[in-house]
Amino acid sequence: MNLFRIPALLLLFAAPVVRAQTTADPAPITATWETQKQARTFMLGIPAPRGQITDRNGAPLAQSRMAHNLAMVFPTPPTLSDVQVLAHARKEIAAAERLLSRRIPVEDDAILKHYHNRPLLPMELVQDLLPPEIAVLKNPPAGLMVRPVYQRFYPNGRLAGHLLGYCGRRSGLPDRPLQNNDLLWPDSEGREGIEQTFDKQLQGKVGQMNVTFDEAGNKSSESVAIPPEPGQNVVTTLDEALQRKCEELLEKNTERGAIVVMDPNNGDILAMASWPVFNPNDFIPFISADKFKRLQEDPDVPLLPRAYRSAYPPGSVFKCFIGLAALESGAITTDSEFECPSSFTLGRLTWRNWKKDHAGSLNFEQALTQSCNTWFYQVGLRTGAKSILEWANSVGFGNRTGIPLASESIGRIPSDEFMLRTHGRRILEGDVVNMSIGQGDILITPLQMARAMSILANGGTVYQPRLVSQVQTVGNEVSSGYSVRAVSKLAISPKTLAAIHEGMVDVVSSGGGTAASARVKKVRVAGKTGTAQWGPKRRERTAAWFAGFAPAEEPQFAFAAVYEGGPGDDSIHGGSHAAPLIGKLLREVFAKQKEEKKDAEKAAEKEAEEEAAMEDQSN
């Protein structure tokens, strides 16, 4: 029995979309099934393969591939009794089970319903056969057939799973009597991530196959009237290698956490990794109830994209922005000095510094480098809640960034309205004290923090974070473009920026800093550590942060890393747990850049030598 053949053009788009693609005229489709007793022509839909999702260089992150399903064919004309139908079906299913060496559970009711309503169409038994099973069924028994179908495939497994999302069946094949425009097999739709947001563009256009049957139910003709049109390709700003490295670092060094890396010069998201992550292939063609339940009940919540859907108190990383508000509002100057005692008292409450000894009189750069809490308590009160909140909002805290992914967390920058609604009072001085070290009611996502660091890195330009750069047709024509967009330009004085930059560089490179583990040889890294507690007291957790940019002089990368500690674990700190993640990442990235530069220089020298030799020969 001939197999249903799909046009070669539509099987699998493996070549990067940034390269030119060639197409061929679709081959005719040959079907092996009939539809019903009455003589008539049916117009059946041919589902289109979904378009690709790629990284910024065209490397495929999501594709359509050819899958093979096993189906059962009933004899024609369809005149069997229910007993005969079940006897036939059980015989064919038993033969399939012997060939595949596995059980194929099918209910009698499902068999009879299919036969009564759609007897001349094959009944699907097994989806997505394994390669060895396909080989066994190369010449299937007369009552069985193998149908090639399009299926979603994620070639890198779990890589960027939260960002890509996954696909699911739009619906199963109907079990009512066959009608025009019914699909030959179930179509899929995006259920999360980019797959969901760009579902319309990725879907493609359903084709049409006309099949005519005579009065006896025998197929008399068939033709592809309209070939299916593949979906468009979505090109992201992600760098596959960088995304992979971020996920590897999280896997090896954390139980839960996130890393976001952006280009501060245009807002492109180069990597946005959350850990743990799930494998979107587990949802194809569908996920079992047991497996989905395990994912949902996993205490580490692998379905949660922590990079943009979780928000944490920022801890001492927020001191960079307290300094920004204090310096730009005129509350202090870069030369202003305040004491750094071991504790600070306001009314009946006392807050302590993380250092037990008095650290002396410090200016802003020194206080940022040493992360002196008591210094920032004083400066926060002097600056006031109004200026702090205005500057926090201006760099994007407390607002969604607008990436094209559903359910992005808004985070939180508390206002008087929020405090009245939540605590029954306006912001008090004690709240400002907590706010001054990134505690209290402040919550920030790793993506928001990376964006804020981009603003400090580039001198005040607020870029719209960009995750998708364009949507392309199969012919590589741009159908939708998402340009780099500067939302605003903050008026930050060069003196303020210099003070923040130098303080952050000292955090990494000086002996008194807290992020020595983020150092990179011959590269000045600017960063700030943070350690904050959140959650109910009995199950309080620690969020360990490291955020910043590099190189400090001409930033290529802005970053934020969060290490999420377990309940009651007070051994977690930004300097010991988050900074090493970024240090390992940057050391590898800059080492790779150095190698690539050397290779390019060697290639240029060789080319120059060859040109000189050719010139000598011509002379």
The 10s digit of each residue's pLDDT in 229-282 is 999 999 999 999 999 999 999 999 999 999 999 999 999 999 999 999 999 999
Long-range pairs for 127-132: beta carbons < 8 A, 24 or more residues apart? 127/67, 127/69, 127/285, 128/67, 128/68, 128/69, 128/284, 128/285, 129/67, 129/68, 129/69, 129/70, 129/100
DSSP string covering 372-429? -HHHHHHHHHHH-HHHHHHHHHHTTTTS----SSTT----B---HHHHHHHHSS---H
pLDDT of residue 2 exceeding 60, the answer is no
Q: What is the pLDDT of residue 39?
A: 59
Rg (CA), the chain: 31
DSSP line for 1-67: -PPPPPPGGGS---S-TTS-----PPPPP-------SS-EEEEEEEPPPPPPEE-TTS-EEEEEEEE
Q: Over 70: is that where the pLDDT of 29 sits? A: no
Query: Which of 34-38, 180-184, 273-277, 345-349 has the weakest average pLDDT?
Result: 34-38
- Give the pLDDT score at 9: 35
Cα–Cα distance measured from residue 518 to residue 164, given in angstroms and rounded to the nearest whole number: 30
- Whether a cis peptide bond, with omega within 30° of 0, leads into 446 is no
Task: Please give the pLDDT value at position 36.
Answer: 42
Q: What is the pLDDT of residue 426?
A: 97
CA proximity to 515, closest of 345, 304, 371: 371
Average pLDDT value for residue range 413-432: 96
Average pLDDT over residues 459-486: 95
Domain 240-596 is found in CATH 3.40.710.10: yes
Kindly state the percentage of the chain with pLDDT values over 70.
Answer: 93
Taking residues 118-140, what's their average pLDDT?
A: 91
How far is CA 338 from each of CA 347, 348, 522, 526, rounded to the nearest angstrom? 20, 22, 33, 23
Q: State which CATH number among 3.40.640.10, 3.90.1310.10, 3.40.309.10, 3.40.50.720 fits the domain covering 27-236.
A: 3.90.1310.10
Structure confidence at residue 12 (pLDDT): 33
Q: How confident is the model at residue 118 (pLDDT cuts 50, 70, 90)?
A: confident
CATH 3.90.1310.10 range(s) for the chain read: 27-236
Lowest mean pLDDT among 24-33, 343-352, 360-369: 24-33
Distance separating alpha carbons of residues 341 and 264, to the nearest angstrom: 36
pLDDT at 17: 39
The whole-number pLDDT of residue 315 equals 97
Task: Return the pLDDT at 608.
Answer: 82
CA–CA gap between residue 609 and residue 403 (Å, rounded) = 48
Query: What's 576's DSSP letter?
Result: I
Cβ 167 vs Cβ 190: under 8 Å: yes
> Residue 422 has what pLDDT?
95
Cβ atoms 152, 64 nearer than 8 A: yes
Exposure string of 574-606, with b = 16+ CB inside 10 Å and e = fewer, is bbbbbbbbbbbbbbbbbeeeeeeeeeeeeeeee
- Residue in the block written with tokens 């977690």: 572
Q: How confident is the model at residue 184 (pLDDT cuts 50, 70, 90)?
A: confident
Given this model, what pLDDT does residue 99 score? Answer: 95
Give dist(CA 476, CA 551) in Å, integer: 35
- In terms of DSSP H, where are the helices of 319-384? 319-329, 364-370, 373-383
pLDDT tens profile 529-551: 999 998 888 888 999 999 999 99
Residue 172: pLDDT band (50, 70, 90) is low
Average pLDDT over residues 168-195: 84
Average pLDDT in the chain: 90
The pLDDT, as a whole number, for residue 619 is 65
> Distance between CA atoms of 528 and 383, rounded to whole angstroms?
21
Q: Looking up tokens 């501060």, which residue turns up?
A: 264
pLDDT value for 264: 98
What strand order describes the sheet that includes 526-534? Answer: 269-275, 257-262, 557-564, 541-550, 526-534
Whether 420 shows a pLDDT value over 80: the answer reads yes
| Spatial distance between the Cα atoms of 430 and 351, rounded to a whole number of angstroms | 10
Is the predicted pLDDT of residue 214 greater than 90, yes or no? no
Dump strand ranges (E) for 117-226. 123-126, 144-153, 167-169, 188-190, 207-213, 219-226
How high is the pLDDT of residue 82?
Answer: 96
Question: For a pLDDT cut of 90, what percent of the chain falls above it?
Answer: 74
Q: What is the pLDDT of residue 173?
A: 66
pLDDT of 564-587, one tens digit each?
999 888 899 999 999 999 999 999
pLDDT at 15: 34
For position 332, what pLDDT does the model report? 98
Question: What confidence tier does 8 reach under pLDDT thresholds 50, 70, 90?
Answer: very low
